[in-house]
Amino acid sequence: MLAEDDVFTAEFFSCVLLSNAVHLPAAVAGSEVLLGDGSSSSIYAGSTRVPLRDGPYFAIGSALYKVYGLYADPQDAFVFGVRDDEDEPGGFIQSHGSAIPVPSRLYSESPCDAIPLSGKRFGVEDVYDLKGTPTSASCRDYQSFSGKASATAEMVQRLIRAGGVVVGKTKTSQFASGEYACDWVDYLCPFNPRGDGYLDPDGSSNGSAAGLAAYEWLDNTIGTDTLGSIVGPAACNGVFAIRPTHGISDMEGVVPVSKLLDTAGCFSRSIVDLQTLSSMWYSSVKQTCQAPTPTRVLYASEEFDKFPDIKRPVMYAFIVDLERALNISTSNFSITEAWDDEAPAPITRPIQDFMQTTLAHIQLYDCYRNNAKWRTSFKEQMGREPYANPMIRFKWGLGSKLSLDDYETACEEKIVYRAFLREKVFKENTVLILPCGPPTARYRDVYDLPPEKRKNNLQGFGFLRDLNAFLGGLPMVIVPVGQVLVRSSVTGNMVYEPVSISLIGAPGMDCKLIDLAATVMSASGRPMEVKVEKSLYETLD
């Protein structure tokens, strides 16, 4: 038991209850046994009204209670911890204080096909509803006004039905929108554990990524992605993740940004864990695990060229390993040239011009209107506008100026581009490899100009590298492929910075992309998992 669990301790052997024991010798019941370490254990036999799993319990009178270990959250990754509400089926109780309560793993059955996630601990981004607890979306006024959730989001229920154990709500950029660490006001931005601890964790699902990269006691986390909220944090915090095919996630009970773009994604430290989690979580759409094996692999050198010399070889090494593992040749690819050659008639505009405002107008229009109802109700009841961080107020301001015609035009552009990607690019079991994350790491102590002077930063304007997945609704898997030594602008020390790539495939290739990454990593002898804290891998220093 001691080897299997981080909550159970030797002190619990001082009193052993044999629940519903059959044919227990009378001489044993109530006896005291001398243990090997010189301590003693009292053994009791008795029956319980409900079956008990092996593990530690507290006895108060005739009642037994589950034991929770308390873990500190030095990275500020969590909003609060939770535990099961024993009096409310399916409900949770919010913990108070900064410690995160985690139950003994001994309470969970061994994983099997029916419950593949049994005993796995999860952090849930604070845009998913958990019955009995508030959802804040990192906005204090929204949390106090919305109250406690009456039901748990369906995507979280899927985890629970598969045996997953929710231990807390992780922080998110406000309303799951783009913010840097300097933009946070209502809450403190999570700390990225990689490097010297001052790398920006990106957003919005940064609490989920930072917590997983920091804490061994946390097994997996979930988040959401609209225009990079899984992708960016996974790359910056050095963990595996997936932004799934759009439409296979049930977003009921999740604070929305845009229904045309929102997806439910997940993070893991192990590619094997990501396989297990994804094959279960997205199993409601069977095509996600039944797509053909990729036979055409592309990479975009024009995107890799934007990265510094120290990072490019680390990324290209994965492509070389892929060619060897699959016995396949990869091809350089330019989406710009493909559009110039095969853009649907009568469109003649360059892709950078055609897609300049598409993503931004969709998410800005939807985000502003999705938040309008509660903002109006809050003002009517409280006599003031609800507080939102400056970046979010700026974002809402942009969205308020967009007309329905602007929105419908953007939606039509999205349909055109989506069809182009699916018919002209992601055919014949195609996979596109791209670099992931910012070319140069950003540190959390960087202060930008006010949002209105940053113009369109973080809002989705322009032809972005990852726009193919966002507007095409395509699955995207993020794979940490190495790390490089760089000099920290904060401490001046040489520190490790994660390096990641992404794999994008046709709709329904979600699981196949993960399988592809796992195959390459296994065949090339790469580590199948990353470590916690500063470095992704074991180091000598």
Q: What is the pLDDT of residue 27?
A: 44
Q: Which residue would you say has higher pLDDT here, 443 or 52?
A: 443
Task: Report the C-alpha gap between 220 and 165 in whole angstroms.
Answer: 10
Q: What is the pLDDT of residue 36?
A: 54
pLDDT tens-digit readout, 433-461 = 999 999 999 999 998 888 877 767 889 99
Residue environment code for 13-51, b if the CB has 16+ CB neighbours within 10 A, otherwise e: beeebebeeeeeeeeeeeeeeeeeeeeeeebebeeeeee
Chain centre to alpha carbon of residue 62: 41
Contact 129, 153 (CB under 8 A): yes
47: pLDDT strictly greater than 60: yes
Provide CATH 3.90.1300.10 ranges for the chain.
69-102+117-281
Contact 405, 397 (CB under 8 A): no
What residues have CB less than 8 Å from 405, skipping those under 6 apart?
A: none
**Measuring CA to CA, which residue among 155, 144, 468 is closest to residue 298?**
468
pLDDT tens-digit readout, 485-495 = 999 999 999 99
Task: Report the C-alpha gap between 484 and 499 in whole angstroms.
Answer: 7
Q: What is the pLDDT of residue 32?
A: 55
Neighbouring C-beta atoms of residue 316, cutoff 10 Å: 17
What residues have CB less than 8 Å from 418, skipping those under 6 apart?
A: 471, 472, 473
Task: Report the C-alpha gap between 206 and 127 in whole angstroms.
Answer: 12
Q: What is the pLDDT of residue 150?
A: 98
Band of residue 210 on the pLDDT scale cut at 50, 70, 90: very high
Among 64-78, 389-403, 437-451, 505-519, name the one with the lowest average pLDDT.
437-451
pLDDT tens-digit readout, 335-377 = 999 999 999 999 999 999 999 999 999 999 999 999 999 999 9
Contact 234, 137 (CB under 8 A): no
Neighbouring C-beta atoms of residue 377, cutoff 10 Å: 12
Phi, psi of 302 (to 5 degrees): -65, -25
Q: Which residue would you say has higher pLDDT here, 19 or 391?
A: 391
Neighbouring C-beta atoms of residue 382, cutoff 10 Å: 12
Band of residue 59 on the pLDDT scale cut at 50, 70, 90: confident
Q: Which two tokens stand for residue 320?
A: 């070389």
Q: Which residue would you say has higher pLDDT here, 11 or 221?
A: 221
88: pLDDT strictly greater than 80: yes
Beta-ladder partners of 170:
78, 125
Reply yes or no on domain 69-102+117-281 having CATH 3.10.580.10.
no
44: pLDDT strictly greater than 90: no
Contact 288, 187 (CB under 8 A): no
User: Mean of the pLDDT values across residues 405-413?
Assistant: 99
Neighbouring C-beta atoms of residue 320, cutoff 10 Å: 13
Mean pLDDT over each residue of the chain, to the nearest integer: 93
239: pLDDT strictly greater than 70: yes
1: pLDDT strictly greater than 70: no
pLDDT tens-digit readout, 133-161 = 999 999 999 999 999 999 999 999 999 99
pLDDT tens-digit readout, 157-183 = 999 999 999 999 999 999 999 999 999
Cβ burial of 402 (10 Å; 0-12, 13-18, 19+) is buried
Q: What is the pLDDT of residue 35?
A: 52
Q: What is the pLDDT of residue 519?
A: 97
Q: Which residue would you say has higher pLDDT here, 419 or 31?
A: 419
pLDDT tens-digit readout, 251-304 = 999 999 999 999 999 999 999 999 999 999 997 655 555 667 788 999 999 999
